[in-house]
């Protein structure tokens, strides 16, 4: 059984990861500017569904292995931690991309079903979140209690809920405050840089954290 402290710790890490501008944020911002607030919010919903499909895939495919092999867990942890550091470096290098997305939007029309579908595809294919699930989810489970895949499914549900809230904020801000963002490119650049440093710190922290079982 997972403790409340484990759940809260995972939720806090999820907030950090979701808050870092990545594929989902870029896509949501672009949609808000090109097709409007409603379609952007539908895209966010689709993205959250896609992200939870990642949780299901990781829980079923990785959970059983991690439950039975500490060595496999260590390899997965180190590889994933290194990739998180890489993503952090990339976020810093490309921190102006959100601003560029804001500057390039042109109004169009998009069917609601397509907005949901496209968001789902982006969520399923998001490398940042799937690496996070592979690396972080096993560390917040209790292998001694058994049922690690089920623990991962329950715990992983927090991530898309948090993503739904924070990405919706991005969608609303992009749809209603385009001029404000466009006049100050440094604002989003600073957000991207700070987010990249958080990602690097997260990767380093995961790399030095051991499994207690």
Q: Is the pLDDT of residue 56 over 70?
A: yes
What confidence score (pLDDT) does residue 194 get?
Answer: 64
How far apart CA 170 and CA 28 sit, in angstroms, is: 7
How far apart CA 176 and CA 143 sit, in angstroms, is: 46
What confidence score (pLDDT) does residue 129 get?
Answer: 82
What confidence score (pLDDT) does residue 164 get?
Answer: 94
Interior angle at CA 117, CA 86 and CA 45, nearest 5: 75
What confidence score (pLDDT) does residue 169 get?
Answer: 92
User: Cα 113 from chain centroid?
Assistant: 23
What is the per-residue pLDDT across 98-157, written as a single tens digit (0 to 9) for each?
A: 556 555 554 455 678 888 988 888 888 777 787 788 888 888 887 777 787 888 898 999
Overall residue count recorded for the chain in this entry: 213
Which range scores top for mean pLDDT: 27-31, 62-66, 112-116, 146-150?
112-116
The residue among 109 and 40 whose pLDDT is bigger is 40
Q: Is the distance from CB of 162 to CB of 11 less than 8 angstroms?
A: yes
Instruction: Report the range of poorest mean pLDDT among 48-52, 80-84, 127-131.
Output: 80-84
How far apart CA 114 and CA 89 sit, in angstroms, is: 33
Instruction: Report the range of poorest mean pLDDT among 42-46, 74-78, 93-97.
Output: 93-97
* Mean of pLDDT values over 171-187: 68
How far apart CA 91 and CA 76 sit, in angstroms, is: 22
| DSSP code, position 138 | G
How far apart CA 64 and CA 95 sit, in angstroms, is: 37
């Amino acid at each position: 059984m997972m403790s409340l402290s484990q759940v809260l710790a995972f939720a806090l890490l999820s907030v950090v990861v979701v808050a870092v501008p990545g594929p989902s944020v870029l896509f949501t911002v672009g949609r808000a500017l090109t097709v409007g607030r409603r379609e952007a919010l539908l895209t966010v919903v689709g993205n959250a569904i896609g992200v939870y499909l990642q949780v299901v895939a990781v829980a079923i495919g990785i959970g059983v292995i991690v439950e039975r092999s500490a060595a496999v867990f260590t390899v997965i942890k180190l590889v994933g931690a290194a990739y998180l550091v890489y993503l952090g470096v990339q976020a810093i290098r490309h921190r102006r991309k959100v601003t560029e997305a804001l500057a390039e939007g042109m109004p169009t029309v998009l069917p609601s079903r397509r907005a949901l579908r496209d968001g789902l595809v982006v969520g399923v294919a998001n490398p940042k979140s799937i690496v996070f699930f592979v690396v972080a989810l096993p560390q917040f489970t209790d292998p001694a209690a058994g049922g690690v895949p089920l623990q991962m499914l329950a715990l992983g549900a927090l991530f898309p809920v948090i993503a739904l809230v924070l990405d919706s904020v991005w969608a609303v801000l992009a749809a209603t405050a385009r001029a404000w963002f466009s006049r100050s490119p440094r604002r989003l650049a600073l957000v991207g840089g700070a987010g990249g440093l958080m990602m690097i710190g997260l990767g380093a922290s995961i790399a030095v954290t051991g499994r207690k079982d």
